[in-house]
Amino acid sequence: QVVENFPSDISTGIGYGWACVGKGDVPKMVWSIGWNPFYMYIKKSETTLSSFKDDFYGEILGIVIRRYIQSEKNFSSLEALISAVQEDIEEAERQLDLPEHLKLKDNNFFHLLEGKRVNH
């Protein structure tokens, strides 16, 4: 349901930025939204790769997308997909360590999420 409620003009592809769950830390993350052609999804989906240590079901997930890395694409094999994901993670790591991206980790947006939960 979350992806279905995204604005229709959000581009599909791979991006990176910062994420926060409730009052937790703000780790680096890589984000994918799209049709995932390798898996032939019939619905648009979203995947967030981050270093969250705890279960965050029912929590508000705040994300600041800093930049898109690339548009989504298909792969000839699972190994090629895994390699591309690893390259995206490495690119995000390098970019998010730059001062212009690092400053967003302390964005006031993340403080607005403190103490909020979603009721299911």
pLDDT-derived band at 120, boundaries 50, 70, 90: very low
Cross-strand partners of 32: 14, 47
Confidence of residue 1 (pLDDT cuts 50, 70, 90): low
Mean pLDDT for all residues in the chain = 80
Task: Give the amino acid at 58.
Answer: G
The owner of tokens 């349901």 is: 1
Which sequence spans correspond to the domains of the chain? 2-113
Confirm whether pTM is higher than 0.85. Answer: no
Q: How far apart are CA 53 and CA 25, in angstroms?
A: 10
CATH classification code of 2-113: 2.40.30.30
Q: Tell me the pLDDT tens digit for each residue of 51-107.
A: 666 666 677 677 777 778 888 889 999 999 999 999 999 999 999 999 988 888 887
Q: Are 56 and 29 in contact (CB under 8 A)?
A: no
